[in-house]
Chain A
Amino acid sequence: ETGVTQTPRHLVMGMTNKKSLKCEQHLGHNAMYWYKQSAKKPLELMFVYNFKEQTENNSVPSRFSPECPNSSHLFLHLHTLQPEDSALYLCASSQDGGPEDTQYFGPGTRLTVL
């Protein structure tokens, strides 16, 4: 596979469930990102990892917990979510997180919280 992949593509969960989203990039990049895309709102950056270290947490609630075990993989652990957390969650990667970088996106995970 090439590019940025995300699994699952669709997820339905209850408010008491614990689930994880997975992102994998096959581009040799060192920076990875989680975004939230809600209807009729701009994309919201959630987290940035650069060389496996978290460099940005955009005031995200603690019910979202990221994990970056290596430069190729990024997880978003979910627990006790709210219905308003339903959205498309997009993962992206870039070469090294620098200002000239282009970010490459995965297809997203469509999350529905019941």
Chain B
Amino acid sequence: GNSVTQMEGPVTLSEEAFLTINCTYTATGYPSLFWYVQYPGEGLQLLLKATKADDKGSNKGFEATYRKETTSFHLEKGSVQVSDSAVYFCALLYSSASKIIFGSGTRLSIRP
């Protein structure tokens, strides 16, 4: 079946460090891929998305590239800030339905 696997947290980094949060997926066909972010006390916000292979989604300094050959959509940021502390969810939406499948989330904490 369709599923999303992302690295377990928590991930703790110092400010200005390089960030990678791994995400791999299993899906039939060609799903769209998403990263959502959930700041403390808030709902999920769409961070970026990619709808086909080799697409790169980017927003607020975050990037992720849709890699069909490795079925991955890793989230990266070159220099993290304290304000990036949140829970990050990788998700896929397969084309035959409107149902998004989410990963279990990765909590990120950035130290000043």
A interface residues, Cβ below 8 angstroms from B: 4, 6, 31, 40-43, 45, 48, 50, 55-56, 90, 92, 94, 97-108
Residue in A closest to B46 when the chains form the complex, CB atoms: A102
Within 8 A of A (CB), among B67-92: 89
**Judging by beta carbons under 8 Å apart, are A31 and B43 in contact?**
no
Question: With the chains together, A106 CA to B44 CA distance in Å?
Answer: 7
B94 within 8 A of A: yes
Q: How large is the interface on B (under 10, 10 to 19, 20 to 34, 35 or more residues)?
A: 20 to 34
Question: With the chains together, A69 CA to B13 CA distance in Å?
Answer: 46
Q: Given A41, A50, A105, which contacts B44 in the complex, CB threshold below 8 Å?
A: A105
Residues of B within 8 A of A100 (CB): 32, 51
- Write the nearest CB–CB distance from A97 to chain B, whole angstroms: 4
Residues of B within 8 A of A56 (CB): 99
**Judging by beta carbons under 8 Å apart, are B46 and A99 in contact?**
no
Contacts known (A4-B43, A45-B100, A105-B44); A99 close to B95, Cβ less than 8 A: yes
Question: With the chains together, A50 CA to B97 CA distance in Å?
Answer: 12
Residues of A within 8 A of B49 (CB): 102
Q: Chain B CB within 10 Å — which of A4, A43, A55, A98 has the most?
A: A43
CB<8 Å pairs between A and B, sample of 11: A4-B43, A48-B99, A98-B98, A99-B98, A100-B32, A101-B93, A104-B46, A105-B36, A105-B44, A106-B43, A107-B41
Question: With the chains together, A50 CA to B94 CA distance in Å?
Answer: 17
- Write the nearest CB–CB distance from B77 to chain A, whole angstroms: 21
Residues of A within 8 A of B102 (CB): 42-43
**Judging by beta carbons under 8 Å apart, are B104 and A42 in contact?**
yes
**Judging by beta carbons under 8 Å apart, are A41 and B41 in contact?**
no
Residues of A within 8 A of B103 (CB): 42
Residues of A within 8 A of B89 (CB): 43
**Judging by beta carbons under 8 Å apart, are A105 and B43 in contact?**
yes
Q: Chain A CB within 10 Å — which of B4, B44, B104 has the most?
A: B44
